[in-house]
Amino acid sequence: MNAWLLVLPQVILVLMILISSIKIISASEKTGIAKPGCDDHCGDIPIPFPFGTRDGCYLNLLFRVVCAYPENTSDPPELILWDINSNGSITHISLEGQLTLLMAVNRRCYNRSSELTSDLLDPWMRLNAPGFTINSTANMFTVVGCSDIAFFEGSNIFDSQKYRTGCMTFCQSAADVINGSCSGLGCCQASIPPGQSGVNISMDTSFGHSNVSDFNPCGYAFVVEKEAFIFSSANLTNMIEVTRLPMVIDWSILDWVLTAGIVDWFATARTCEAARKNNTLYACKGNTSCYEPETTIGYRCSCLPGYQGNPYLDGIDGCTDIDECQDNIHNCAKDSACYNIVGSHECNCRKGYRGDGRTDGEGCIHIADDTSKFYKLVTGASVGALCIVIATVWLYIWFRRRKSMVMRDKFFNDNGGMLLKQQLATQGSGNVTVIFSIHELKIATNNFDGNKIIGEGGFGTVYHGFLADNREVAIKKSKLIDRTQIGTFINEVIVLSQVNHRNIVKLLGCCLESEIPLLVYEFIENGTLFEHIHDTRTTSKLSLERRLRIALETAGVLSYLHSVASPPIIHRDIKSRNILLDKNYTAKVSDFGASRLVPQDQAQISTMVQGTFGYLDPEYMQTSKLTEKSDVYSFGVLLVELLTSMKVVSFDRPEEERNLANYFLSILKRKRLLEILDGNIVHEMNVKLLEEVANLAKRCLKVKGEDRPTMKEVAMELEGTLKLSKLGKVKKGPKEQEMEPLLVVQSRSFGFVGNENIFPQGDMSEVMHLENEGGR
């Protein structure tokens, strides 16, 4: 311990000495641009090799300089070129090939009578040696004075060609001149071509100085570094004090060749290539390149990029690698580490950064900023935006759904949905009537597309569609119904859904979730009876048999509604438009929209008169008392329509014929039935049959309901007529032969198949009997 304590101060001392010595060494390295052991400075002026003051310190005698200390003064020493005949004094030497030389200013001074009084002319301004030329871009030949003219006479270093230039000044007073401008007023300038070595300057006065000698006794002519001389009017007077001004000289490497002693020598200029071949004289050392300046002879050396030092020296003073990192001359950006490599350096971005790391490049980009941060931000923002969008859309849909759900529930309740459900539950017939959702029906009708409309009228709109199970349906959207009638409507729906009659368009279900209740029927493909009767293209296809069959089927339906259904139902709107035909011309009674249930204890009910003009029971019109006989009347009209193929009401006909029923009755009265019957169905052999049917129609059209037969009677009579007529055998025209099998097919499936509870067996057998007869 004690020993250590004693040693410690010494160790510190040694370390301090070491550190300081390192500092001293590094400092001397910096200034060591001369050969080791040579004077590297003259006063403040550095003397880089190839220049030197002593033997062995300069490259050759062309580069010998003298550091001259002025006698008896403390003035700084002057560095002068050794073999110069001019009073040049070097102020700066650059290894790029220039040196700044203070050169004499030539002057001529005159007295008031314009006589020359002094002449400090150094006409032959010789530059040290060939290879030392006036730098043409940095210098200007300049003349100052108010009445002076001067000439520059140089010789080109390449071919010794003489070159002459010059300029003249003029001014009458100091106020004439423009400060900073050498355009002739008090000062003029001429540029110097490149490659001028030896120069003679001559000067004279142009108009004499007598009128200006007060402020400008002398004229001056000199070559000067542009930046070092800025003309001012004061110079016309004060330049008398100035003896030397700086000019820039270019130098290059030339070989000094001694021929005899030191006196006879010549300088030889070589190209880089030639110089390189003679290693002993080649001036460019390691890590350098050689080049030949354009404006002078000889060659020069320069450090390779990334190196610094004296290209004319070897070793550590020569061109050595620049540690850009340590010297802080690198171009490494913030956040990048500088790595020096020989001749160059590299910038490596810190961990977590990427890029070339250079200030003049893309620099270093924080990867976190760049990727995770940036992407996090972007993805965060986009995810956020997406979330908002999704949430908005979801909320919107939810609100829409909820609203429509609320509306649906409201409609469902308004439309008596609960009532219907209850009824269906108590009746135990839930599987007969289906309550469709509005959604299902929207899909079925392509959202109630206008193209799907197959019927439109006072009752509402009928759409064609396919349910999800591919069932073809007709969906009826009724006109707004009286809300107070909801209960009745529900009853009708229930009853109709229970009516399972082959000749009644089957109600498949309903939808109560829309404002207007929707009814879903089975689709009947062949259109209405009305179309078949009144379209001239199809009317001929309706043979008498077909017509009677349709009439019978319709009568069967009405008979069934009036007497079998419980409670009885009055259709109220029997007309050809409400009889649909399927592909086998089987009648399907539709549109129970106006139908009324007749309470069991009442034979008639009072309602608002409703029906279709032309088919409407006149008694009902007058009394508003609705009975089953109203349907009988309407059926009578339908029968007449079937027999005559005439429109029930037509304003094309004369007034008395306008209403078909009345017209028919008057025709019958006049016993001229054949005039009104459709020619297509009248044949010799069926006139009697037609008369029978016409008679039946006549009875149905009785003004008093009581006088009309019941529908059951009508149906039975029609049945009997058909049976008795033995239609199948009556005629065998080519048309009928074709039709017969149709009738058979039709017959076979004819009847009230399905719910036997609803249709009594007895009636069925009767009908079947008929069919068998017809089929044979």
Ligand X SMILES: *[C@@H]1O[C@H](CO)[C@@H](O)[C@H](O)[C@H]1NC(C)=O
- Catalytically active residues are 573
d(CA 141, CA 709): 145
Would you say 186 and 171 are in contact if contact means Cβ atoms under 8 Å apart? yes
Query: Does the annotation place 403 within a ligand binding site?
Result: no
426 binds ligand X (CB under 6 A): no
Which segments within 400-468 are labelled E, that is strand?
434-435, 453-457, 460-466
- What binding mask, one character per residue, do residues 736-755 give for ligand X by CB under 6 A, x or -? --------------------
Is 211 a binder of ligand X (CB under 6 A)? yes
Which residues fall within 8 angstroms of residue 181, CB to CB, at 6 or more apart?
187, 231
Per CB under 6 A, which region of 108-116, 438-446, 641-649, 683-691 contacts ligand X? 108-116
Minimum Å gap between C-beta 359 and ligand X is: 24
685-703: string of b/e by CB count within 10 Å (b at 16+)? ebeebbebbbebbbbbbbe
| Identified binder of ligand X from the candidate list 98, 344, 348, 610, rule CB under 6 A | 98
Q: Does 323 bind ligand X (CB under 6 A)?
A: no
- Dihedral sign for Cα 439, 440, 441, 442, please: positive
Q: How far is the CB of 281 from ligand X (least distance, A)?
A: 5
Q: Which is nearer to ligand X, 110 or 759 (CB)?
A: 110
- Cα angle 132, 138, 141 (rounded to 5 degrees) comes to 85
Q: Which of 31, 161, 271, 278 binds ligand X (CB under 6 A)?
A: 278
According to CB under 6 A, which one of 32, 145, 198, 455 is a site residue for ligand X? Answer: 198
Should residue 118 be labelled a site residue for ligand X when binding is judged by CB under 6 A?
Answer: no
Of 198 and 219, nearer to ligand X (C-beta) is: 198
Give min distance, CB of 269 to ligand X, in A.
13
* Distance between CA atoms of residues 533 and 119, nearest Å: 144
- Minimum gap (Å) between residue 365 Cβ and ligand X: 33
| Contact map string, positions 651 to 670, toward ligand X, x by CB under 6 A | --------------------
Q: Does 264 contact ligand X by CB under 6 A?
A: no
| By the rule CB under 6 A, 259 interacts with ligand X | no
- Structure token digits, residue 237: 């007077």
Interface mask toward ligand X for 281-310; x: CB under 6 A: x---xxx-------x---------------
User: Where does this chain touch ligand X (CB under 6 A) — which range of 119-127, 330-338, 492-500, 536-544?
Assistant: 119-127
User: Can residue 87 be called a binding residue for ligand X (CB under 6 A)?
Assistant: yes
Point out which span in 118-126, 610-618, 622-630, 714-722 binds ligand X (CB under 6 A).
118-126
Q: Which range touches ligand X (CB under 6 A), out of 20-28, 274-282, 563-571, 712-720? A: 274-282
Shortest spacing between CB 173 and ligand X, in angstroms: 11
Q: Which stretch binds ligand X (CB under 6 A): 115-123, 466-474, 682-690, 750-758?
A: 115-123
Please spell the DSSP secondary structure of 363-398, one letter per residue: --EEHIIIIIIHHHHHHHHHHHHHHHHHHHHHHHHH
Which single residue is written with the structure tokens 């259109």?
A: 527
Count of all residues that appear for the chain in the document: 776
Burial track 335-372 (b if 16+ CB lie within 10 A, e otherwise): bbebebeeeebbbebeeebebbbbeeeebbbbbeeeee
Query: What whole-number distance in Å separates Cα of residue 558 and Cα of residue 563?
Result: 8
Judged by CB under 6 A, the residue of 26, 72, 259, 431 near ligand X is 72
Q: Are 65 and 52 in contact (CB under 8 A)?
A: yes
20, 31, 111, 422: which one contacts ligand X (CB under 6 A)? 111
**Residues of span 228-257 touching ligand X by CB under 6 A:** 229, 232-235, 238-239, 242-243, 245, 248, 250
Q: Select from 650, 623, 606 the least CA-distant residue to 704.
A: 623
Contact 578, 590 (CB under 8 A): yes
The pair of three-digit structure tokens given for residue 734, joined into one six-digit string: 């080519």
Q: Which is nearer to ligand X, 169 or 612 (CB)?
A: 169
Comparing CA positions, the residue from 560, 583, 555 lying closest to residue 500 is: 560
Rounded Cα distance, 410 and 400, in Å: 15
Rounded Cα distance, 499 and 757, in Å: 11
Binding positions for ligand X, 132-151, rule CB under 6 A: 135-138
Return the number of the residue (112 or 726) whose C-beta is nearest ligand X: 112
Nearest position to ligand X, beta carbon:
286
By beta-carbon proximity to ligand X, the closer residue of 8 and 68 is 68
Are the C-beta atoms of residues 103 and 80 closer than 8 Å to each other? no
From the CB of 294, what's the least distance to ligand X, in Å?
A: 7
Span interacting with ligand X, options 24-32, 55-63, 116-124, 578-586, rule CB under 6 A:
116-124
Q: How far is CA 184 from the centre of its chain?
A: 68
Q: Which is nearer to ligand X, 137 or 772 (CB)?
A: 137
Of residues 37 through 66, those in contact with ligand X by CB under 6 A are none
CB of 268 or CB of 539, closer to ligand X: 268
Smallest distance from ligand X to CB 255, Å: 7
Question: Site for ligand X (CB under 6 A): which residue of 20, 28, 118, 179?
Answer: 179
8 Å CB contact between 676 and 697: no
**Which amino acid, residue 125?**
M
Nearer to ligand X by Cβ, of 115 and 214: the residue is 115
- CA 276 from chain center: how many Å? 65
3-state secondary structure of 37: coil
Would you say 71 or 159 has its CB closer to ligand X?
Answer: 71
Cis check: omega of the bond before 246, within 30 degrees of 0 = no
Cα–Cα distance for residue pair 461/126, rounded to 1 Å: 121
Q: Which of 66, 67, 92, 155 binds ligand X (CB under 6 A)?
A: 155
- Which C-beta is closer to ligand X: that of 213 or that of 423? 213
31 or 243: CB nearest ligand X: 243
The reply on whether position 280 binds ligand X by CB under 6 A is: yes
Dihedral sign from CA coordinates of 407, 413, 415, 420: positive
Structure tokens at 385: 């935006």
SS3 at position 312: coil
Which residues does the annotation place in the binding site?
477
Residue list for the binding site for ATP: 477
| Footprint of ligand X (CB under 6 A) | 71-72, 87, 98, 104, 111-113, 115, 120, 122, 124, 135-138, 153-155, 179, 194, 198-200, 207-208, 211, 229, 232-235, 238-239, 242-243, 245, 248, 250, 277-278, 280-281, 285-287, 295, 314-315, 318, 320-321, 342
